[in-house]
Amino acid sequence: MSSAHGYRQDTRLLDALAGGNSSTRLKAALAIGSHPEPGFADALVARCAIEPDFFVRDMLTWALTRLPAEITVPKLLTELRSGRAQARSQALHTLSKIGDSGVWPAITRSLLHDAVDEVARSAWRAAVVLVPDGEQEALAAELAAEFGRGDREVRLSLSRALVALGDVVEPVLRAAMTHHDPAVRAHASATERLRRDPDAGFDLAVDAARRVVALGPDREESTAC
């Protein structure tokens, strides 16, 4: 392949990556990931921040994981400070897929408690993947501060993240199940039920927890044992 031909090919892929058709962008991301070249890293990261289609974003992440981490990770860390929520969220998602534990210090409290639900959810998922040994309890305490937040999908994400941390979450769950806010108590109780029986399903766990909370603190304590 001549260098001129390679340049034209690269230009076509970059144009397709910014095209108006999501199928075209998806194919471009697939092509870039199938034959990864470090020169595409900036374009992939930039597209992650603005890409509206979920499937294309997922392909962009896959393409980035195919590139050397020493090239992609610094660019993604920069995105964590972006004022654009999608840039932060997608960078967190991609970092969790790369799995470089050295980026753990970049998973800050501000990201774990980001005002944008999708950013916070991505931070929770990334945190449980990247957390080093000895930091799980502190992470569990940070995550527990978000009990009662958001809609079903947000709450399910938090519960799954806590369950993924294992037995270290028991103290924070017990504490949250005695919280003054019934929404926090119900969410914590649902998380505990999900931890004990992952096959039960989150909605059933939430329904059961709400019934327990409605019966009052004494009933909650007796059923939490």
pLDDT tens-place values along the chain, 225 residues long:
335 445 567 899 999 999 999 999 999 999 999 999 999 999 999 999 999 999 999 999 999 999 999 999 999 999 999 999 999 999 999 999 999 999 999 999 999 999 999 999 999 999 999 999 999 999 999 999 999 999 999 999 999 999 999 999 999 999 999 999 999 999 999 999 999 887 766 665 566 556 655 555 444 443 332
In a domain, 107, yes or no: no
In a domain, 72, yes or no: no
How many whole angstroms separate alpha carbon 3 and alpha carbon 204?
60
In a domain, 193, yes or no: yes
In a domain, 43, yes or no: no
Note the pLDDT tens digit of each residue in 139-197: 999 999 999 999 999 999 999 999 999 999 999 999 999 999 999 999 999 999 999 88
In a domain, 208, yes or no: yes
How many whole angstroms separate alpha carbon 113 and alpha carbon 125?
13
In a domain, 162, yes or no: yes
CB 193 within 8 A of CB 205: yes
Assigned token pair, 158? 């938090």
Total domains present in the chain = 1
In a domain, 206, yes or no: yes
Domain coverage including residue 187: 136-225
In a domain, 212, yes or no: yes
